[in-house]
Amino acid sequence: MARATLKSHNQSPRKIRLVANLVKGKPVPAALAALQFLPNRAAYPVAKLIKSAAANAGAQGKKPEELVVRSVIVESAGMLKRYMPRAFGRASLLRHRKSRVKVTLAPLV
């Protein structure tokens, strides 16, 4: 099994999960082809992460063409909190969510 992790990506986990669920269970070449033509902003970092996991598998002596995306786990990686001034001297909280993405590749069975 080969793994790769994206520690802190500046996009909400909900938006990344939409992309991650599309590639679960697919072979690596098919997953990369699907992500290449996806208009979502999260498609590029997820594709880059799958390529990194495939390169890790190549270092272990496995062929990337024979691997399947076993799991893509998207977690919250905290948030950046800012305040926006509002009427009557109040302030409202803006929460910029971050994501942590973990990809695991496994050989075809």
Number of domains in the chain: 1
Q: Where are the beta strands (DSSP E) in the chain?
A: 2-9, 67-85, 91-107
Tell me the per-residue pLDDT of 52-63, one tens digit each, with 9 for 90 and over.
999 999 998 899
At 72, which CATH number? 3.90.470.10
| Contact yes or no for 9/47 (Cβ under 8 A) | no
Q: Which pLDDT belongs to residue 70?
A: 95
Which of the 8 DSSP states describes residue 27?
A: B
Radius of gyration for the chain, computed over Cα atoms and rounded to the nearest angstrom: 17
What is the reported pTM? 0.88
Query: What single-letter amino acid sits at 62?
Result: K
Map residue 61 onto helix, strand or coil.
coil
Q: What confidence tens digit (pLDDT) does each residue in 54-99 have?
A: 999 999 889 988 999 999 999 999 999 999 999 999 999 999 999 9
Listed residue (44, 52, 39, 53) closest to 10, CA to CA: 44
Q: State the pLDDT at residue 3.
A: 94
How do strand 2-9 and strand 67-85 relate by DSSP bridges? unpaired
pLDDT at 109 over 80: no
Q: Find the domain containing 48 and state its range.
A: 2-107
pLDDT, residue 56, reads 94
